[in-house]
Structure 1
Amino acid sequence: MNGNPSSNEPGKGSMVFVVDDDASMRDALSNLLRSAGIRVETFASTAEFLRLPRPDCTSCLVLDVRLQGNSGLDFQTQLAGSNATIPIIFITGHGDIEMSVKAMKAGAVDFLAKPFREQDLLDAVSAALQADVKRREVERQFSDLHARYQTLTTREKEVMVLAAKGLMNKQIAGQMNLSEITVKIHRGHAMKKMHAKSFADLVRMAQSLGVGQDH
């Protein structure tokens, strides 16, 4: 195999899952990806894939559109319904425009019609793994932000929520029945615990967390 992975590829800990009921295609894809230094697990069906506990690492799914039983497009919908966020690359020998549009609208990274160039598959895998790296980083940042928010006292959370709604210190003080200086102290503590560089930064954090939006 002569294909080469794209530049800026994710680390060696990445994993590509291949689901295709054609054994020769599974072998060909496995050999291609391994030749590019990418770890691969192959499956003959979506049920087989679901039975395997996925490792917590950067990954993507190369999925055949036409599978026996549950189609690839149906499986994409099933994964989305279960909040599974693995990036998907569709491959098919029977692709058409309607299927491709449906897959891409539902979030697929790419849609490749067989026979495809090896480099096209490697490029699609590289893009999918990069997308997963970014998704995981966003989730990690949100998790860290949420963890810091949970260290705030009830008063500090209230100040942060009201600030995110656009209230000034004086207005927050009136609403919470506190002195303005006390509000400033709570705000200062909240900024320190949240690692906010400015008051505007604290407001952006509150908006990212979605706190106060239902109030």
Structure 2
Amino acid sequence: MSRLLAVVDDDEAVREALVWLLESNGLAVQPEALLQDDAAQFACLILDMRLSGMSGLMLFERLLQRPYCPPAIFLTGHADVPLAVSALKMGAFDFVEKPFDDLLLLTRVQQAISQDQQNRQQQSQQQRILGALNQLTDREQEVMQLVLAGKLNKQIADSLDISIKTVEVHRARVMEKMGVKSAVELAGLLAQYRPHAAKSD
């Protein structure tokens, strides 16, 4: 699990202070442009709201288009608080006003790292569910939908014009491929599935 942090700030003094603070607390830091590199390698992004050539908000918008964007913490001056609020609405983890309190920033960073771990676990689960769904045949998909609708085997057999024995075979294969043992468990698993969260690199 990645624990590498990206620090993006045009102010060299601020950047060096951030790197020292984070590294002195046992965190690995890479001062980054984040324009060519894969953001997914980082557990947390620390972005200054004002960057030369591209605002922190514009950079964040670009990163959100990638398969995975880690939690982002914005550093902002008082005048940029409205922009920081916009960043939160876009999905940023938090923002911290300059001059920042070291302990507050460290706390937010640790929380962001924990959030990153949860996000990655959720994404992994989404991929697992998608992979299982892709293993189902068209007929197994049909049987699964009717099982989820609460239909009994006889009702499924009548609906699909197949024998009850065939329904039982398809139903067993659905449960095996999806890694569940009951219709209730199957419904619970699929309730976690959100196709937009399952995209991969």
Q: Same fold (TM over 0.5)?
A: yes
Question: Is it true that 1:18 corresponds to 2:11 in the alignment?
Answer: no
Distance (Å, rounded) in 1 between the aligned partners of 2:11 and 2:174? 57
CA contact (8 A) 2:74 2:94 kept: yes
Question: Is it true that 1:190 corresponds to 2:174 in the alignment?
Answer: yes
- Report the counterpart of residue 198 of structure 2 in structure 1: none
Alignment counterpart, residue 26 of structure 2, candidates 23, 29, 37: 37
Q: Deviation of residue 116 (structure 1)?
A: 0.9
Q: Percent identity?
A: 38
Alignment counterpart, residue 93 of structure 1, candidates 77, 84, 89: 77
- Report the counterpart of residue 154 of structure 1 in structure 2: 138
SS in 2 for 1:51: coil
SS in 1 for 2:75: strand
| Structure 1 counterpart of 2:62, one-letter code | Q
Q: Deviation of residue 164 (structure 1)?
A: 2.9
Question: Is it true that 1:79 corresponds to 2:27 in the alignment?
Answer: no
- Report the counterpart of residue 122 of structure 1 in structure 2: 106
Q: Deviation of residue 96 (structure 1)?
A: 4.2
CA shift digits 1:157-209 (9 cap, x unpaired): 22113323444433322222112232122112211222113211113334444
- Report the counterpart of residue 173 of structure 1 in structure 2: 157
State which drifts further: 94-103 or 193-202.
94-103
CA contact (8 A) 1:33 1:122 kept: yes
SS in 1 for 2:92: coil
Q: Which runs of 5+ in 1 are unaligned?
A: 1-10
Distance (Å, rounded) in 1 between the aligned partners of 2:155 and 2:110? 51
CA contact (8 A) 2:6 2:42 kept: no
Compute the TM-score of the two structures, normalised by the length of structure 2: 0.85
Q: Deviation of residue 58 (structure 1)?
A: 5.6
Distance (Å, rounded) in 2 between the aligned partners of 1:15 and 1:75? 19
The RMSD of aligned alpha carbons is 2.2
CA contact (8 A) 1:160 1:203 kept: no
SS in 1 for 2:45: strand
Q: 1:36 to 1:74 in 2, by over 3 A?
A: same
SS in 2 for 1:50: coil
Q: 1:202 to 1:105 in 2, by over 3 A?
A: same
Q: How many residues align?
A: 195
Distance (Å, rounded) in 1 between the aligned partners of 2:41 and 2:69? 12
- Report the counterpart of residue 51 of structure 1 in structure 2: 36
Q: 1:61 to 1:210 in 2, by over 3 A?
A: closer
CA contact (8 A) 1:15 1:39 kept: yes
Alignment counterpart, residue 17 of structure 2, candidates 28, 42, 48: 28
Q: Which runs of 5+ in 2 are unaligned?
A: 196-201
More helix by share: 2
